[in-house]
Amino acid sequence: MATDPYSSPLAYFGNELKRLRQRAGITQADVGQQTNYALPTVSAYETGTRIPSADFAERADKLFGTDGDFTRLQRLVEQVSVRPWFRDRVDVERKAREIREYESYQIPGLLQIEPYARTIMDASRPVLPAETIERAVALRMTRSQILELDNDLPADREQTPRLWAIIDESALYRTVGSPEIMRAQCEHLAKMTQQPNVTIQVIPNGKGPTSAFGRAFAVLVSQNNSSVVYLEDLGTAHYIRDRDEVNRYVVAFDHLRASALDDKQSLAIIKKVWAK
């Protein structure tokens, strides 16, 4: 993230948080304790590697007596950090009960580590400005926090969603960045499979064509069991809410699950790929 506090609202939020904390003579741990947020989360907000939540901004205002400054700034941060066509995905994802995602080309965004995500963003053409890439990476890392069982839950979410991810084996072998990054990425996948709310299945290359024909998609299920399908294209996205169309993707996902190895066999492949 750029060190210039005026390079973006996200950088400015982090700089102001650090400035007021230091002026108050307290540590990041103190801020975490008084706002009920974990130390790594507070640190990420200061460095601009995570997008601050509205709840944290409100608590920071109370802690530093800033009369709503952090709350107003947080709204601006979210406004400029999330592309308009992606905003619905973020909003639905935050409140989802279950997320079913299929990826054939890359690791699903919610399971990406920071260096992997940055390399993916850097491959965009036309080339994105460095600040745009950093904001996109910060958003991706912020989104992934919803899967953490001990995460600081926002006020509008009462439970951690369940993620069921299906990945083509070829995506595991595609070198993104470097062998070291891929090794760390696969280690992260293996770690995530140990969480009770995360299931990862791999479709082996030898399986041949599958029901989605390599077309990535996500089905997001809300608390009241309504579903929306998310399809992403270059520079835009499509949202499908028609029940019959959604059901087509639900059926396709079920067939993908049937084509994939079970979770234990999938974990064995993940551990084997890029093994030391």
Residues 102 and 212 in one domain: yes
pLDDT for 114 equals 94
Q: What is the CATH number of the domain that holds 27?
A: 1.10.260.40
> Does the pLDDT of residue 272 top 50, yes or no?
yes
Residues 162 and 233 in one domain: yes
Residue 146 lies in a domain: yes
pLDDT for 150 equals 62
Residues 48 and 164 in one domain: no
Residues 122 and 40 in one domain: no
Question: Looking at residues 241-255, what average pLDDT do you find?
Answer: 96
Assign 2 a pLDDT band (cuts: 50, 70, 90): very low
> Does the pLDDT of residue 103 top 80, yes or no?
yes
Domain end residue (candidates: 66, 81, 96): 81
Question: For 88-92, 114-118, 175-179, which range has the lowest pLDDT when averaged over its residues?
Answer: 88-92
pLDDT in tens, 210-227: 888 889 999 999 988 899
pLDDT for 155 equals 44
> Does the pLDDT of residue 4 top 80, yes or no?
no
| Mean pLDDT, the chain, integer | 90
Residues 124 and 238 in one domain: yes
pLDDT for 129 equals 85
In terms of pLDDT, which residue wins out, 211 or 29? Answer: 29
Residues 141 and 243 in one domain: yes
Residues 89 and 149 in one domain: yes
pLDDT in tens, 112-135: 999 999 999 999 888 888 888 888
Closest CA to 51 of 100, 1, 88, 89: 1
Residue 3 lies in a domain: no
Closest CA to 241 of 221, 212, 255: 221
Local structure of 54: helix, strand or coil:
helix
Tell me how long the chain is: 276
Q: What is the CATH number of the domain that holds 215?
A: 3.30.870
- Residue 26 Ramachandran class (φ > 0 left, ψ -120 to 50 alpha, else beta): beta
pTM score: 0.80
Host domain of residue 27: 9-81
Residues 97 and 62 in one domain: no
Residue 1 lies in a domain: no
Domain end residue (candidates: 81, 101, 131): 81
Domain count, the chain: 2
Spatial neighbors of 16 by CB under 8 A, at least 6 apart, are 5, 69, 70, 73
Domain end residue (candidates: 29, 48, 81): 81
Residues 165 and 256 in one domain: yes
> Does the pLDDT of residue 194 top 50, yes or no?
yes
Residue 2 lies in a domain: no
Residues 168 and 235 in one domain: yes
The whole-angstrom separation of Cα 76 and Cα 65 is: 20
Residue 4 lies in a domain: no
Residue 53 lies in a domain: yes
Assign 236 a pLDDT band (cuts: 50, 70, 90): confident
